[in-house]
Structure 1
Amino acid sequence: MSQPFDADTPNIDAPAIAPLTTDPVPEPFEVKFASRVDRLPPYMFGRINNSLYQKRRAGDDVIDLGMGNPSDPPDPTVIQKLHDAASDPGNHGYSKSNGIANLRKEVASKYNRQYGVRLDPDSEIIACLGSKEGFSHMCLALMGPGDTAMIPSPYFPVHMYGVILASGNVVALDVADPDRFLRNVAYTCEHMAPKPKILIVNYPHNPSSAVIEPDFFVEVVRLAKKYKFMVIHDFAYADVAFDGYQPPSFLSAPGAKDVGVEFTTMSKGYNMAGWRVGFCAGNSEMIRGLGTIKGYYDYGMFQAIQIAAIVALRETEASVEKQSMIYQGRRDVLVSGLRRLGWNLTPPKAGMFVWAEVPEPWKSKMSTMDFAMKLLEEGNVAVSPGSGFGNAGEGYLRMSLVENEQRLRQAVRQIAKCLSTSGAPTSNATT
């Protein structure tokens, strides 16, 4: 009688495998992915990235407004602290996956100082390897087969596919009008069975740059308590805002910690994208769930980076404000230049992107992907087609503000030349 399998006790009494008397017919070896991977669509930006790579290999000077990859360096004080901390042999061992205590205390201090939110560094804050990693692992902690998340549309890809990789389902709701978005949340909860388990929000929004006022989150909390869903707020652009606008924290709404968490990152305002420093703060049980997943997946970020991040949070607020002004200047250059070409767009109040409607007659005659490829192939300007962020993004382009003002002016000139020399598209231009 066979014994039950025990992962901790090898079955040393298993019978020997008889040798083959003839060689098997050779067949191609097949790698089968998990169904969660098979549910992922082809990478929408692959075509543009491949063309960008080929053009640069050929020596073309392509102005890349596609990816929101900060091109400015962190404050010199932070770089020096990283050097000093990396020189200490004691900082090179494994680090706790939830982040060192002093870093979590510094995050709590910033929340109290900037948003009037009090957080327990031990139970209500956890450090992540960037907010994208934290968000994905939070989905693994909370979602499973049959669970549904409501997400903003157009969507930042991880908001959709982080849920899918956790075997969950998605309902995408139009993010353009905040009041309509909230009505759609309520409608979905009233008419869907079982009710959605999570609401994912993202303001300032990527890719559309939509923003909200603090009362929006008050209503989110009310709906969460009424319909019993959890809230995850992706606050990636908390530190990049213009014209006096102050992006509100979800956690500043009364009762927010009862129902949800907020992810922040040092990638944007602090210019530390490659350092991969992010945080999750809020509901202690949701934080505990994320910590459980992270405990199995990683040992935390390099301790020298955490020490440098403490200095960044503590001493470089002036640099963060200066960086916002740099982005604002770039926004003004790009918006004014495109408007002179007749483009219809609204200057963003926050974030690192301009969300621009494709101008006519191009919008009516070709897909957004084809228009983006035209700008790249004929104008040497790379942009992100809005269709890469879901169907709601069709007809729009996302243009990042990572290039300096001179390069942005040059980009506008190249776009103007590209569209003026090629003439209006014909009705079969989508082929």
Structure 2
Amino acid sequence: MSFRKYQKVLAIPRVLPATLFMFVAGLPLTIMTLTLSLHVLNEMGRSYFDAGVVATATALGFAVGSPLLGRKIDSHGLRPVVAVSGTISTVAWLGLPLASYPVYVCLAFIAGVFTVPTGSLARQFVASLVPEDQRRPAYSLNMMLMELGFVIAPATGILLITSYSATATIVGIGVWRAISYIVLYKLNWPTRSLDEAAQKIQRVRPKLRTWMSGPLLSAMFVSAAALFVLYGTELALIAVLRSNGEIAFTGYVIAAMSVASITGGFVHGIVRRSWSQARLALAMSLLLLPVALFDQVWWWLMLALLPTNLLCTPTLAAGSEAVAKLAPSDVRGEVMGLHDSAYRIGQTLSAPLVGFAIDSLSPAMGFVAAASGGLVLIGMAALCNLWISTPKTLASKRHRS
């Protein structure tokens, strides 16, 4: 194993600048919900329920907007979408600090809908710039940077909020994103490869039934399962450390989890063969189950979480690779947007269900709930794949006979 696979990918024209730029442009999005919620709590003086409503509105906005903007990119290209949605999103962000609570909720939803999805767009750039046989290290690198972003941005965001205010941080996020849109508009990286663009003389969008296959829908469910497990794990971790009076060690445990995830992603990108997305997600879920037995001391818990976190980035990278392979170039933006929505759905489902297990049973049972939810979604992915693929298989057999 060596760095050679990564070197080959980064040597492809425009891959390195596109990867680094999308990483930097997407950093504020990792603290978007946190900042909006703290503004409601601190500056508005409202309740945690009100903050939760804002978080839900933002998540729904992202879930709706990602496939919608992806579809518009497929139809009209990158620049018109960045120009229109970037303007609306920037106005919404800059208007948030001035709004009353009902308007604030609406603006949070609008900001989510029209925020250009950095993650799905980065994955789309990889699919258009990188040959299929080199995408695994490219997506592994993409996910390693995303994991690094989740380490850097929240700590920086909390520092800015405590040093200044959530209001100032909201304005800063709006300005950061506005600058990102301007740069993205100017650079205008391709969303299709040269061969795909040459083959597509008349752009007629194919119907949903022609591209929403069983394997593609299955990959979406597995992606949702991965995010369910990851966010449920973080929630259970905080609950356990808080109940033990060891909340001060949260940073150490999360740092170790992130290092393990990045390490696993690096290995995934350079090995000759790796597991499939479903197999990685299944192993990640199963390895989380015994963590509930190691909830007595923070460093036991940290060590117990390392195996499942080693598979975090590989699972996400394998999901991106699978979706890119299954998505036709004519609807790649929409498919990548749906993939982004699958992540959001998994994240959104995880918080209340794992939280219910923590409140009803024990903090440690949060890990079991997170793993169980992941296993249920993986099972649904398998059933969905079988259910959709079987009629086509039977029809093919009848046709041959």
Bigger fraction of residues in helix: 2
Task: Give 1 or 2 for the bigger CA radius of gyration.
Answer: 1
Give the number of the structure with larger relative contact order, counting CA–CA contacts within 8 Å between residues 6 or more apart. 2
Bigger fraction of residues in strand: 1
**TM-score normalised over the length of structure 1:** 0.25
